[in-house]
A and B are shown apart, each in its own frame.
Chain A
């Protein structure tokens, strides 16, 4: 089953979808997604982009078993998990949903502790290993000092980091995120996505205190380091995020998937997918694409109806005066 590259135990495909069809209501209703074939790289960050209603979120629902597959099958890290139990699946694939809810009065530590549910037996209590995972998750999201605060009292950015910490405490090699940056201001969007792109693969991590996610994440030294190559030592989780904001998607993702009406229309490196033709197909958007001057990822510059016409009135800038 596994596709060998260098190490026979390390599959290069994180999620392999074959003939996957998803939909709501009776089976006769047209599918919302698919049938699609899709390979998403292991140990890398994939962003799924597309207009509203294109099936991005439905695809995530299928990947997390909230919605049963109508047809086809999904391989996770080279394994067919269709027969796996709910808890076993939850030890492999985690989800940060679009609108997560916390209980009234729940503290950050209590919320993050819920991430240990799939690792616990039905009768077993919380043990020291759970505490270690929770502590590591709080550390890598910089929430240790807020651990006893109530989740509802946090700011939007802090709250989103608390939910990321829950996903981290789940310690899964595959992490799915449904629009993790909605409702955040730009600085917090960048902050959350930098955390997301460097989520560690728990299977290869040393004990969390010594060389866990904390050690593998760069400090807040500026964007150059976070957007560059990841540290070679720490393998990353397979991350799949549905993202709205194209330039942030290009900044954080190694792989982009563009969807239109339940079908994949383009997949590849950001520079391959974010080209004017695809943007016109996917979003009906007229845009220019330029490389980011510092980081090199493509930047989308949207153009409106009047933008490409030569200006008729006298503009202020001298370069525009040359048009006349």
Chain B
């Protein structure tokens, strides 16, 4: 009846089964390690290109000299105030968004669940625009810290609104509630923009498209602090929620606490997305696509590290293309980075949707 006898009849299969399991574990680990290594190398190469290559090129020797404190006329300013901060901000924001996406994906057990689809990023953006409007009357505007705080409050408020509307964590309801909250956030953004002065409006428009143009070392320091604090927490939560991959009943039976740990994961994910959004604006699709890109490399295994690395690489690449390549091609024209992530992300997301639909249809 079953192929069982052929396997268990022979004595001493226990040892070989143990060996086979250990071999498969090492193969899994190797695959994960290769994915991490490959993504890290890719990220470093892209970051190096971002800093050294472009409309204004810097030699590696000059770059090292500038970093060690020497001043080279022209080059020093461009590297320290333009190229390097953009590269660092892109890496940090991408990593934060990638990690946030991985947390949402695992907690909500839906490949479309991510802070940008669920209105969390839009909530942060709406709060920042509202804060811009509120401080527009004051000379010099508000501080970076207040801006980040506004983003965090907006992200958490949006997350809380989604949770209240869905009344549970996970399921289609959560996704639909998230899309609704996102739409409400967009309405707040559009309404508030009307009240901004001409000068603020232009800055806000560029920031809303997701731009690394205006990034300052002050904002980077805040983003770095938030990432350093939240990424380890995100790693632990992602790990503790691993049983959720097998559905909620199994997760509980395996000693996970999907509700409590899941709520913590969504809050930490909202914090990461808010920190990135405050620094560089709502970069479209990075949080959504970093996870699938990483899983493609790990052979389907969810990995927060890979997702963060993939997110970082995506943003650095998008910024490289948006700022430097288009400048070379179109004589100085520059696109906001978010326009590029959006333009690349939308077709990728559609492809994911179609693929998911096909698999569901095939299984039924």
Interface residues of A (CB under 8 A from B): 61, 64-66, 85-91, 93-95, 97-107, 109-111, 113-115, 117-118, 122, 126, 128, 131-132, 134-136, 138-140, 142, 144-145, 147-148, 152, 157, 166, 170, 176, 178, 187, 191, 208-210, 212, 214, 217, 219-220
Contacts and interface: CB of A to CB of B under 8 A. Distances in A.
Interface residue SS majority, chain B? helix
A97 B236 contact: no
Interface in B232-279: 236, 239-240, 242-243, 245-250, 252-257
Given A65-B252, A89-B255, A97-B247, A117 B4 contact: no
Contacts of A147: 17, 20-21, 24
Nearest to A104: B300
Contact of B17 (A64, A95, A144, A157): A144
B137 interface: no
B236 to A, nearest CB: 6
Nearest to B253: A95
Given A100-B247, A142-B8, 17 more contacts: A64-B249, A93-B253, A97-B249, A97-B250, A100-B249, A104-B359, A107-B24, A109-B21, A114-B242, A131-B25, A135-B21, A136-B17, A144-B16, A145-B3, A176-B253, A209-B18, A220-B2
A157 B300 CA distance: 24
Nearest to A210: B14
Nearest to A60: B249
Given A110-B28, A148-B24, A135 B18 contact: yes
B363 A152 contact: yes
Contact of A220 (B5, B247, B252): B5
Contacts of A90: 253-255
A24 B363 CA distance: 32
A113 B249 CA distance: 17
Interface of B: 1-5, 7-9, 13-18, 20-22, 24-25, 28, 236, 239-240, 242-243, 245-250, 252-257, 299-302, 359, 363
Contacts of A111: 246
A85 B240 CA distance: 14
Contact of B299 (A61, A105, A136, A187): A105
A268 B363 CA distance: 42
Contacts of B255: 85-91, 117-118
Nearest to A93: B253
Nearest to A106: B300
Contact of B20 (A110, A114, A136, A144): A144
Contact of A102 (B13, B20, B246): B246
Given A135-B21, A148-B24, A191 B7 contact: no
B247 A138 contact: no
B21 A117 contact: no
Contacts of A85: 255
B313 to A, nearest CB: 22
A105 B252 contact: no
Given A122-B240, A135-B21, A214-B14, A64 B252 contact: yes
Q: Which of A66, A117, A157, A214 is packed against the most chain B CB atoms within 10 Å?
A: A117
A197 to B, nearest CB: 16
A122 B245 contact: no
5 contacts: A65-B252, A66-B248, A139-B8, A139-B17, A212-B14
Shortest Cβ-Cβ A-B pairs, 10 listed? A105-B300, A90-B255, A209-B14, A95-B253, A142-B4, A97-B249, A118-B255, A87-B255, A135-B17, A135-B18
Contact of A101 (B242, B246, B299): B246
A132 B18 contact: yes
B254 A135 contact: no
Nearest to A190: B1
A191 B13 CA distance: 21
Nearest to B236: A122
B257 A86 contact: yes
B4 A95 contact: no
Q: Which of A139, A166, A178 is packed against the most chain B CB atoms within 10 Å?
A: A139
A117 B25 contact: no
Nearest to A85: B255
Given A142-B4, A144-B13, A135 B246 contact: no
B1 A220 contact: yes
B14 A142 contact: no
Contacts of A91: 255
A214 B8 CA distance: 8
Nearest to A142: B4
A313 to B, nearest CB: 40
A99 B247 contact: yes
Contacts of A94: 253
Nearest to B248: A66
A145 B250 CA distance: 25
Contacts of B253: 64, 66, 90, 93-95, 97, 176
A86 B256 contact: yes
B20 A113 contact: no
A110 B301 contact: yes
B21 A134 contact: yes
B243 A114 contact: yes
A132 B2 CA distance: 24
Q: Which of B243, B253, B255 is packed against the most chain A CB atoms within 10 Å?
A: B253
Given A65-B252, A208-B14, A126 B25 contact: yes
A101 B248 CA distance: 9
Q: Which of B3, B20, B242, B363 is packed against the most chain A CB atoms within 10 Å?
A: B20
Contacts of A110: 24, 28, 301
Contacts of A113: 25
